[in-house]
Structure 1
Amino acid sequence: DYLTKSFNKLRKRKLIRERIAGGAWFVQNTWNWETSQHHPHLHLLLDSVYIDKKDLASEWFKCTGNSYIIDIREIYNTSNAVKEVARYSATPCDLREFPKDRYLEIYDACFNRKMCGSWGTLKGISFKPKSMIEPEDKIEMASGAMVFAMRNEDDNARAIWLMCTGHGPVIQGVDMDHIVREGYEEHMNSPPKFHPQIRFNFAA
């Protein structure tokens, strides 16, 4: 929230409004193994006249109160720049870069949060990646809440959990149909850590 709120303040600054006609922004979070800390940051593609780095850093500090860290570069190859920046819309957070015990923490931080957007001359651009799997090839297994809650009690739930966490093979035909959805809460050992609407889907 702090990062995006600071960015919204920046966009309202006079210097920014006068020199930037529009842009696209992407939130990315990486992991610093040396400090064991998250590193949330923004990537932007701007339709703008060039802004001096010192001026932009000064404006950013006024919005954040504690950060001068910015990097701005002029674009010479539009196609390459778009490809470089656009990839962040599909990968705001690469879990392979994080300790596994941080996965749920990352999920909670990113759930239902807007991770990219556009404004001005770039407003209306769609960042939704095209699905590589056809709808008819998807198999609905179970809700994340049900799987997490019953992973220690039900063989199918455990198999799905191991698949999703990368600790087990992909097994075809595994689902939770044998559990009555309305009654699964009574079987839970602990509260679900996943939002009930999250579902696990695998390609057939």
Structure 2
Amino acid sequence: MKNFDPKAMKSPKNYLNLVSKETGLPNALERRKNIVEQMSELNSKGLDCFSCSGMCCTHQYNSMQVDPVQALELLAWLESEGRLNDELIEDLEEVILEYRLNKDFMIGRNREFRRKYTCPFFMKKSQGCSISRAVKPYGCLAFNPLEKNVSTEGKCASNLDVLIERENKNLETEERANELISNELGLYWKKKSMPFALHEIIKALLKP
């Protein structure tokens, strides 16, 4: 995507506001509240990622996918932070090409192979993630250490209970919002790797 100009695209923030008003979608942090609270509680007990190199964010283990709503929320936040720029586009495209995230590979009927990749927002080791908890993917928030001072793989896990609780509470409004975004922006997918999903929505918002 050469000569990217954020002024030439529809504002992700404004578009998200329109989607929220039309579908009744609560704000990003409100819909993540139970997961964020659980994460904060674990952190207060010393169950955090500060001693870890962040392998779960790299191509060794990470295959995180997001739906259109999560991707749009993240873009809106990046816009607010002044990070919707050429550097972001370059980072996304580099990861997409390196890990072939733009290539669909089916492994059975209606089941797509989830490619692993290093997250473009991963800042290495103890610096962790550069994304606010308010817009972080649900799966990232729910994946936490099982013991203190974790520094190697195999000692973290997803809390499926909080993920299911979150989904059940927001299912109807998120389905409406995802359908609206997909129809208006011409998206063919329900979930994709985060870099690819962000890039696709950026391209769609650049259309006249």
| Structure having the larger proportion of residues in helix | 2
Higher relative contact order (CA 8 A, sep 6+): 2
The TM-score normalised by the length of structure 1 is 0.20
Which has the higher Rg, Structure 1 or Structure 2? 1
| Structure having the larger proportion of residues in strand | 1
The TM-score normalised by the length of structure 2 is 0.19
